[in-house]
Structure 1
Amino acid sequence: MVLEAQDAFDRLRLIRSPNVGPVSYRQLIARFGSASKALEALPELSGRAGGRKFVAASVTDIENEMKRLAKAGASYLFIDDADYPSLLSEIENAPPVLTYQGNIGLAGKVNVAMVGARNASAAGCRMARQIAQELGDRGIVVTSGLARGIDAAAHQGGLAMGTIAVIAGGIDNIYPPEHAQLQAQIAEQGLLIAEMPPGTEPRARHFPYRNRIIAGISAGTVVVEAIPKSGSLITARQAGEAGREVMAIPGSPLDPRSRGCNQLIRDGATLVQDAGEIAELIAPLDHRVRSHASTQPQFEFVAEAGDGERKAIFELLSTNFAAIDELVRLSGMPSAQVQMVLLELELAGRLERGAGAKVRLTA
C-alpha cells in the first residue's frame, strides 16, 4: 500500500499527538476511516472524558521532523506498507510508523532476536557471535538492540547476512557512543529501525518499547546471558506473550549473568546450545513470515457510549491494571463500547495502557 503524501502527513500528526499510542491510533483509524478525520474528532473525544483542551501535533513540528529524517537519509515505514514486518503487525501495540535506514527487505525474512547482558562475559560474547554467524549461514537474520555486550556481539556475528538493530532513540541518534561505527555498518549492510521521532535522545522509558519491537519482529528470542529482572528478560516475556519461541542458553549458577537464563529455563523457556537447535524451534513460524499474511488486530465500534456507560466503566477502573476482557464482563457492555470509553479516557490523559491488554487510571 502506497500512502498519498497528505495521508502520510496526517498519520504522522496523529501518532505524534498527545495521548495517542499504538492501540488508540489503530482504533481511531478504524473508527473514522482516515487520520485527517480522526484529527478533527480528537478535541471532542478527549473532552467527553473530562480532559483538557486537546491540541494535536503541529504541522510545523511534523514538517521539521520530516526534514530531519530526510537529512539523516532515513525513511518512514507505515503499518499498512507491504514491507512492514508481518509478525510485528500481529502484536496489539505494534508501532503505527517506524523509521529505518538500510535494507528493508531484511524485515521480511525469518529472524531471531538475540539479547543479553551489557556487562557480558568474554565467553558469552563469543557464543553470541558464533551462533549469530551460524544462523546467518542458514539464512536467518539476527535482531538485537545495539546495546553493549551480547547485543553488539550478536550484530557483529550476523553482519555478513544482514542484521537488524532496533534502537531506543531517534534514527539519527548514536547510542551508545562507542557503537558509532557498528551502527553505521548496520545502516549500510543491514537494517536500522527506530520508533521514536528523529532527534529523540534515548531515555529509560524508551527501552521497554524498543524491546517489544525486537520480540515482535522475531520468530523467537534467545537470551544468552542476563541477570534477573533485566531488560533481556522483559524482551523474553514479551516474546512469550506474542506467541513466539522463548529460548535461553544455560550457564553456571555461580555467575549472576547466568541466573536470568537459568530462571527462564526453569519457567518454561527452551534450553538451546547451538544455531541448529534454534533454527529447528522457529521453523513452525517460517510460513507466517514468508507468506506476509497480516493478522493485525481488528477494531470495530458500535454506537458511542453515553454518560451512564462512561460512569460504569470509570467506576470499575483504578490505578491498578485490569484486563479489558474483565471490564467487558463486569460491565455487561459490548466490547466495542467499552473500547470506545477507554479510548476517550486515554485521549483525555486519564488512562494508561499496559502489556497484555490491560489498562489503569493514571495517578
Structure 2
Amino acid sequence: MVLSDRQRLDWLRLIRSESIGPRSFRSLMNRFGGAAGALDALPDLARQAGRRIRICPAGEAEREFEGLSRLGGRFIALGEAGYPVPLQAIDSAPPLLAVLGRVETLQRPGVALVGSRNASAAGMKFTARLARDLGEADFTVVSGLARGIDTAAHEASLETGTVAVLAGGLDEIYPPQNIPLARRLLERGALVSEMPLGWVARARDFPRRNRLVSGLSLGTVVVEAARRSGSLITARFANEQGRLVFAVPGSPLDPRAEGGNHLIREGATLCAESAHVIEALQPLRQGELDLPLPTHIMRETIGEPATEAMWDELDWPEILPAPGYAKHENGFALEPASSSRPAGAVDPGRLVLDLLGLTPVALDDLVRTSGLEAREIGHVLVELELTGAIRRHPGGTLSRVLP
C-alpha cells in the first residue's frame, strides 16, 4: 500500500483530531472506507453522542508536513513498505510514524535496552558492552534517549545503528543535554515519534513512548530499574505484545536492581551476557520476524462494517491525548526550545556517589562515565572515603557502602 499525498494528509488530520487514538482511527477507517470519509462523518458522530470534538484543520496538517520536510524527516503510514514490521503487529500501532534519519535502520531486527536514568557506572558499562555486541550481531538497538542506561545504549551503538523513540515531537529533544547525541545518532540511525512537531513531552507521554520502544523490538532488556519505574512499564508492554523480556540481575541490596530481579522472578529471561539475548532472538530472526500477523491494517477506500461500539473506541486518552500543534517555532532544527530550562550545576560528590553501586568499578570507568576530570574525581573520592560512603577494593576498584 502506498498513500497519495492527499490520503496522507487526511490520515494526519484524522489522527491529530481530538480524542482520536490508533484504535479509534482504525475503527473509523473501517467503517467509513477511508480517512476522508471518517473526517466528514466525525461531526455527526460527535453530535449524536452529545459531544463536540476539534477536528484538525487541513492548514495545520499541511504546516506539520512542511515542518517535518524542512527538518529532513518523513511520515510512514501503517501498511506501507517502510513501516517497521514488529511495530505494525501491535494493536496500538501509530497510523503515521514520523521518522528522521536513516529509515532502513527500522527494517533490521531491533532489541530494546532500557533502564534507570540514575544508573550506576557498572550498569552503563554493561549496557555499552551489550549494545556493541548486539550491533555487531546486526541488531538495531532501540531506546528512549533518556539519561543513564538509554544514553549508554545509544552511544555504544552509534556505529552499527540505533533508534531513539521520543515522547515529544521530533523537534523537541529531551533531555536537552542529549541533543548532540541525537545529531550523531542520525548518521547511521533514526529518531521516531508519533507526536506532533512542537509537542513538549509531559509525564504521561513517556509510557506511551515506551509501548513503541518495545513494539519496535523483538525483545526488551531491562538493565537497571527500581521496582516502580518506566522500564518495568516497557517490559510489561513487551510481554503484552508477545515479545521476549530479559533482565540483568543485581544485588538484592541495590534499589536499582529490584526491578530486574523482580522480572526474573516473574519469568523474564536472565541476561548476564549478550549471548543470552542473541541466542534467544536468533530463531525469531531466522523466521523473518515470526510475529503475530497484523489484522488491523487499514486499506484506503476499502471499508468494512464496524464490529465494535464506535464512540467507545473514539476516546482513548490512555494512549494519545488531544494534541497541541507546534506550540512554538524553533526553526525545526535539533536545538533546545527557548522554553527549555538550562541544566543546573552538578554536585561532583553526589554525581560520583550516584554512579557507584555495590558492584566494584574501576577508577577509569568512573572518570569516563562521570565526565569529570581525574583530579577532581580524586578529591571527591577522598572526601567520600573519609565519610565512610565508599569502599576501595584490591585492584583499585571502588564501590558504595550501604548506609
One fold, TM greater than 0.5?
Answer: yes
- Kept in 1, the 8 Å contact 2:110–2:217? The answer is yes
Alignment of 1:1-363 (within 5 A): 1-52=1-52, 54-287=53-286, 289=288, 294-297=293-296, 302=305, 336=307, 339=308, 341=309, 343-347=310-314, 349=315
- Provide the C-alpha distance between the structure 2 equivalents of 1:352 and 1:176, rounded to a whole number of angstroms: 24
- Kept in 2, the 8 Å contact 1:86–1:289? The answer is no
TM-score by length of 2: 0.75
Cα shift at 1:65? 1.2
Number of aligned residue pairs: give it. 316
**Gaps spanning 5+ residues in structure 2: where?**
321-403
- Kept in 1, the 8 Å contact 2:19–2:317? The answer is no
TM-score by length of 1: 0.83
**RCO greater where, 1 or 2, for CA within 8 Å and sep 6 or more?**
2
The alignment-based identity, stated in percent, is 45
**Gaps spanning 5+ residues in structure 1: where?**
305-335, 356-363
- Provide the C-alpha distance between the structure 2 equivalents of 1:55 and 1:187, rounded to a whole number of angstroms: 35
Cα shift at 1:73? 1.3
- Kept in 2, the 8 Å contact 1:169–1:196? The answer is yes
Once superposed, what is the RMSD of the aligned Cα atoms? 2.0
* Cα deviations by residue, 1:216-259 (Å, 9 ceiling, x for unpaired): 11000000000011000000000000000000000001110000
- Kept in 1, the 8 Å contact 2:79–2:297? The answer is no
- Kept in 2, the 8 Å contact 1:49–1:345? The answer is no
Letter in 2 for 1:154: A
What secondary structure, in the 3-state scheme, does the structure 2 residue paired with 1:57 have? coil
What secondary structure, in the 3-state scheme, does the structure 1 residue paired with 2:182 have? helix
Call closer, same or farther: CA 1:23–1:117 in 2, change over 3 Å.
same
What secondary structure, in the 3-state scheme, does the structure 2 residue paired with 1:247 have? strand
- Kept in 2, the 8 Å contact 1:169–1:202? The answer is yes
* Cα deviations by residue, 1:162-183 (Å, 9 ceiling, x for unpaired): 0111011101112111111100
* Cα deviations by residue, 1:23-57 (Å, 9 ceiling, x for unpaired): 011111111111101100111222222222x4410
- Kept in 2, the 8 Å contact 1:48–1:344? The answer is no
In structure 2, the residue matched to 1:310 is none
- Kept in 2, the 8 Å contact 1:115–1:222? The answer is yes
- Provide the C-alpha distance between the structure 2 equivalents of 1:21 and 1:290, rounded to a whole number of angstroms: 26
Letter in 2 for 1:253: P
Task: Using the TM superposition, name which of 192-201 and 229-238 deviates more.
Answer: 192-201
* Cα deviations by residue, 1:309-329 (Å, 9 ceiling, x for unpaired): xxxxxxxxxxxxxxxxxxxxx
- Provide the C-alpha distance between the structure 2 equivalents of 1:165 and 1:289, rounded to a whole number of angstroms: 23
Cα shift at 1:294? 4.9
Cα shift at 1:296? 3.3
